Amino acid sequence: MDTPPSGRSDTGVDKITYYTSACLQYEEFNFTRLPSLTKAVYVAFAVFVPILLLNMLIAMMANTYQQIIRRAEKQWKRQVPSLSSHVSVVCCKLN
């Protein structure tokens, strides 16, 4: 198997880091044992990773939104009794 002209090592982590960076040269896929399979896997990777990352971002934002809603409901439940007693004191003073 020929080595890529970039001189990168053959470890998996180095290859993943290299192929996900902007330094990728599409012609380097021709140096693999199965260039067509490599290209197909890379295209699938390039299509699915942004979709999955966007999905993860949406899920994290939805989770944060739910946590804020829960905290607001708890705070509201704590403040309603004090607010009602405050309103009754103000009404009594007006009469």
Burial code of 22-55, b = ≥16 C-beta within 10 A, e = fewer?
Answer: eeeeeebbeebeeeeebeeeeeeeeeeeeeeeee
Residue-wise pLDDT tens for the chain (95 aa)?
445 555 555 667 676 666 666 666 778 888 889 989 988 988 888 889 889 989 999 999 999 999 999 999 998 888 777 776 666 666 666 55
pTM: 0.54
